[in-house]
Amino acid sequence: MRARVLAAATAAVLATVAPAVPAQPAAAQVASAARAPLPCPKAPTPKVSRPPRPVPPPAVPADRAVGGPQLDTPGLATPAGAPAPPAVTATSWLVADLDTGAVLGGCGPHEYGTPASTQKLLLTATMLPKLDPKQVVTVTRGDLDIAPGSSAVGLLVGGRYPVETVWLGLLLNSGNEAANVLARLGGGADGVAGGVRAMNEEARRLGARQTHAVTPSGLDGKGQFTSAYDLALIARACFASPLFRRYTLTERAQIPAQPTLKKGGFQIQNENQLIYRYPGALGGKTGFTELARHSYVGAAQRGGRRLVVTLLGAEARPVRGWQQGAQLLNWGFSLPRDASVGRLVEPGELDAAEAATPSGSPVPPTAPAPWRGPAVTAGHRMAEGDWRVIVPVAGTAATVVGVLVTLLVARRRRTRPTGRRRA
């Protein structure tokens, strides 16, 4: 009997002093499940041989949240009630409005990827405002230092070309030597290295915090990365330039003859099939390396709207990169004008926000934790192993149990019947 009374009293004390951690509410469990990444519709991907994917930099939470919290996902982000986007082979993609900056949807928009020649758009956004298209530049031997077999326009060492011609060679034929010429010309005393440094500075200004350029052309380089979201920021900056819009829609261009080198001129054609086959196409940029696979940026207008699509890590089968871009553009145009899962930040916006905070980096607002009361809070802290709570609670419980035991023993002695001791 005494044992049962003591056990009941001890249990009551422990329940009062150290309450059990309540189970997670059903609503919280549902919310947690809702945060699980939604899988992106994927088209069957053919098996290809490729170099091992480079290890991306560590994820920076603030960079992944640029544009809105819904974009911080490795999976699908689409507006509520929107139809499913088409299945593509790209590992990541994004569709956005060029004018409003609204992001209509994406798949892993902030996942790191390798850009291939879509990086030439960052070179364009950086150097197009700086270089005079009428200036004549002489090509050097160093400009032709590109990977054997990689895309080239056919510029000649010692050849003299208007800068505008070099731009057309870059954007129509994805000339890697043209990228070197423009980076060297815009890089000042440091040449190509200065041009790449300027590209990285421009990426930061635009808010493309997951982009790091190593080569001006997009030829693979260690530590060179971007994301579908960053590519959209860069593309938006390019399409804001009337000069770029004219270049990227040019179907054919003439590379002038070089009489001093006894070489004739020749014609080049735009490799972006979107401008020939998609009504309302505004242009864009293709890209491919064995490591990056197919990357693509394309834009089009329809019904007074201008949309841009970016995709990384695609395969050319069952359909090519530009066709996957066209399918995603069709999906984007089918959405209501106010559909959105985020936005493209404005140039300089992130720098201004960081400068406005004493620490130099923006601190996102966090919702206050719900009030649970002291008992439940203590229980949570004990469950998390907080010895600053466990030790005093255990000490208090032991003291109370000791007092109860003493009281029970004293009472037992008082109520014991008196009488003679038996022999």
Active site residues: 117, 120, 174
User: Do the Cβ atoms of 106 and 71 come closer than 8 Å?
Assistant: yes
CA 124 to chain centre: 21
Cβ neighbour number for residue 377 with a 10 Å cutoff: 14
Q: Which letter, b or e, does each residue of 95-111 get, where b requires 16 or more Cβ atoms within 10 Å of its Cβ?
A: bbbbeebbbbbbbbbbb
DSSP bridge partners of 94: 106, 310
DSSP bridge partners of 252: 269
- Provide the residue count of the chain: 423
Angle at 231 between CA 228 and CA 233, to 5 degrees: 115
Angle at 22 between CA 16 and CA 25, to 5 degrees: 150
**Strand bridging mode 76-77 / 102-107:** antiparallel
What gap in Å lies between CA 124 and CA 179, rounded to an integer? 9
What gap in Å lies between CA 54 and CA 399, rounded to an integer? 60
Tokens of 347: 């140039």
User: Where are the extended beta strands (E) located within 59-98?
Assistant: 76-77, 92-97
